[in-house]
Structure 1
Amino acid sequence: MKTAYLVILFTVSATLCLSSCSKKSDDVMPAQTTTAPVTVQTTPTQSTTQTAAGFQVKVDGYLYTPDFNYALTTSPGDNDYFGVYGLDSKTGNLVALLLPKTVGVGTTPINTVNMGIMTVNQYDFSTRNGGTGTVTITKKTATNVIGTFSFTAYDASGTLKSNLTEGSFNVAFK
């Protein structure tokens, strides 16, 4: 089971690295904010509303707005899933949702099957390690997915916890 989990994480990481080498015109940029990424903030930020294309989430109260965000119609390692990704190319920090392709408009639990994952400052967290949450898809087409999410994720040991709240995305499928 741990081996399968590590293979999935490696595959996701490798795919993200390779897919981040796209033409600049293909990348969907997040809504502009005046807040720095989570790695340099020292205090929690005020809540913001995202209406334009992009991806953002509060990680333990700190706003994370990655510079690359997109959805893949097929998740690495499992053709029955799709992924929504927010990747900071400068730090390598990542937040992703891996959901069954059958998920449409409505609210779906995030758990050990419908996963939320996060890598921040080289620490990996996942709902596969006991966390839970929800994702609400408000629009899903063949080219775009829009929604909100929140979840709690744990590291592999199950002792370190991170809360992701007020997440939102409006991303194109690649």
Structure 2
Amino acid sequence: MFESCHSAGEVAHVYRRMGFPVSCAFDRVALVATPTLGAVTMPATLGSLVRQALTEDHRCESVPILTYSRSHREWVFLVGPAWGGQIARRTLESLEARGVRVLDAGQRIWLPMTDHPTSWYWVSQPVNARTIPSRTSVLADAREFVGRIALSTAWM
């Protein structure tokens, strides 16, 4: 994806061609979370289940996920707008207790600038900004798997 890029500006151009409204700061490329384009973070083990559910159902053309190269780092899902009603506070608190959180509007999401997994890298690269999963889909799948995990450990 970035094989011909030599600067933050060139990397930003690649993301902009995909429809992501990125900016450059401190020689890095970032996306600022908004109500229509944001991020949901979660532990990698839960994230792999959520990714599998989203791709198996063919609900999304791409499921962009990034992470950092150190072990035990969370996965960051880029997500589109939420649909339906607001998520109940109790649900959000339950997800947060399991390591899932929604980035608030205004928070910066640092994007990968290389194809090599030496710092921030794509677990699953984006195709474009229009075909990413909704915030609601990602949270609903996370909630379902958190519930299954809680039930399976309750009988141990």
TM-score between both structures, scaled by the size of structure 1: 0.23
Higher strand share: 1
Higher helix share: 2
> Which entry has the higher C-alpha Rg, 1 or 2?
2
Q: Structure with the greater relative contact order (CA < 8 A, sep ≥ 6): 1 or 2?
A: 2
